[in-house]
Amino acid sequence: MDKKYFGTDGIRGTVGEGVINPAFILKLGWAVGRVLAKGDSGKVLIGKDTRISGYMFESALEAGLAAAGIDSFLLGPMPTPAIAYLTRTFHADAGIVISASHNPYQDNGLKFFSSQGTKLSDEIELAIEAEMEKDMQCVDSAKLGKAERMGDAAGRYIEFCKSTVPSTLNLKGMTIVVDCAHGATYHIGPSVFSELGAEVIAIGVEPDGLNINEKVGSTHPAELQRTVLKHSADLGIALDGDGDRLIMVDHKGEIVDGDELLYIIARSRLSEGCLQGAVVGTLMSNLGLEVALQRDGIDFKRAKVGDRYVMEVLTNGNWSLGGESSGHIICLDRTSTGDGIVAALQVLYAVNHSELSLHKLKSGMRKFPQRMENVRVSGKVDIEGSDSIQQAVRAAEDELGSRGRVLLRPSGTEPLVRVMVEGEDAAQVTRLTQDLAQVVKKAFSG
């Protein structure tokens, strides 16, 4: 069955438009209580990022859960992965994060975690949607849920993050710039690294409800690059608005993206004999990552785009390490979901343990030139059924040989086909991308 409300990562949209409004969120809280907490007594943790609409939706969720007889524990601004961790350790029935991740403040949404701290299955999401179709009913007054604020949530999560690396890790002598995107990690990220001994220069730590992800964070690393160079820092760490995404910057001001971070962590795990099986990337992971890992004897698998699909492949294979180019890094031997701070600590451990700079560690992987064009289409798109497109793809793949690849992917949210080509020769990659884009445009532009 197709889902009506849930996307690949919860529910998200512009505040006041569609379902992102207080009335919908109120009923959603009730439906979640009915499904995840079995509609009886239970407890759900609620966290949020720093955008101004979080106050409104926090109140609506609390009321909906209370109507279903469920107690709420309000954590205030907390990173998404912190909610996953605390939901599991507090034995809560579910965790809910009010966040639109790396989107601007005008957007908001909700992410959900099961009692095990994992993303919800399709079956659970469909059950919640089915409950939304029913009339909302309130339990008897004596059974109404209560709300309580959890004051020590940040401290608990900081200690957890530090526990994901050996106690011998000492960052004394390192200068690290930490960019918290004016988001949910603003009061947590700098503390984690400073408590491990680093001199921390914090930016993006002054949220005002409207500036989350604005020219800062993992999607806007230019300010981090400037600050690293200005202070001659050893490296920089950029998180996104809800703290589940990581991009880093080396001492030369060069960006180290999710593919390179995944490579560094995998090599570190391999050197210590604790890499569990294959490393999982996505269809968009750079071919250079695959080539570098295979050179070291590390198996590499690709999942569909989206951290939930990376998680699915990891879980099915009983493996521990995966991620996306965008910086969602999943270390299942450390925690149950993607976590920007935890991933950064794994990279810092690799730097510390190897006694090599971040710049030197990433140099073992050479990124292949990659080009992507978005082709706007009209009508139904059937890439597999188009003879002209398939013939053009085969011709491009033959020209690239084993040192390149072609990917055509319809967008899940817009009338677009994404045409991506990778190879060793940048000029060849550009030419093939443009040629394929023209074939797709001719086939589907109407």
Q: Which of 53, 72, 99, 101 is catalytic?
A: 101
Annotate 360-381 with b (16+ C-beta within 10 A) or e (fewer): ebbeebebbbbbebebebeeeb
Whether 101 sits among the annotated catalytic residues: the reply is yes
C-beta separation of 410 from 416 below 8 A = yes
The Cα–Cα gap between 174 and 250 comes to 12
45 is written with which tokens? Answer: 């943790």
228: number of Cβ within 10 Å: 27
Active site residues per annotation? 101
